[in-house]
Structure 1
């Protein structure tokens, strides 16, 4: 199995939670997680563009959005069936539509989580 690189937004409370879960599920260490907000992080594209959508590199190919999620899922045994299903164009198209919908509500979710984090003792 090839190594997968995933870039994430370390300043985003949603991303931090999701990546923490993915790290726990990635027991084989198949994924290299890179915080794109780290000034020393190597970014294959403009950092702003990288942070606007989820990105991963699989087998040398840079993937974005649902395709990047699917690549990450394929690297994690428990999620692998979902990632393999996303190789079907119709499944990937549906996942991309869901992802675009999520991107529309993401700012509100981020604000809510940031407020919640600020209130915690």
Structure 2
């Protein structure tokens, strides 16, 4: 696949691990190649017909400038390439290892709601109306 930049990465900014990865990508990314959209923002509306905001929270999505979509591990792979960190993501494209990485990603998606206790890199995201709380109940099964 020949990428058409920029790639827009749709990420869940309420997820502590996801927010850490996005912070790392932002440090390296050229906005002409990689842009970010936080699907946890109350103003977010799913840009694809037939897709809900929850689907974007449950699985990583990215869209190239020509309209092509990639999801899951492919969204991770292409976002890291767009940020100039492709050598770190290169194993995701290795066909013999791909089933193992897919399994690991599905396991991460199942465990992600239980990882809400991890400190968020933007601690203020968990504070509203002078009250701070750690989420205790997953919003969905995140399959």
TM-score (norm 2): 0.67
Q: Deviations over 1:40-91 (max 9, x none)?
A: 33422211111001111135221111111001111122x2124444334334
Distance 1:91 1:3, change over 3 A: farther
Moved over 4 A (4+): none
Structure 2, unmatched stretches of 5+, are 124-131, 134-143
Match for 2:62 among 45, 48, 56? 56
The separation in 1 between residues aligned to 2:83 and 2:116, in whole angstroms, is: 26
Q: What CA distance in whole angstroms lies between the structure 2 residues aligned with 1:91 and 1:25?
A: 26
Given the superposition, is the C-alpha separation of residues 95 and 62 from structure 1 closer, same or farther in structure 2, using an over 3 Å criterion? Answer: same
* Number of aligned positions between the proteins: 115
Q: Which of the numbers 59, 65, 78 marks the counterpart of 1:71?
A: 78
Greater Rg by CA? 2
Higher helix proportion: 1
Gaps of 5+ in 1: none
Q: CA RMSD in A?
A: 2.3
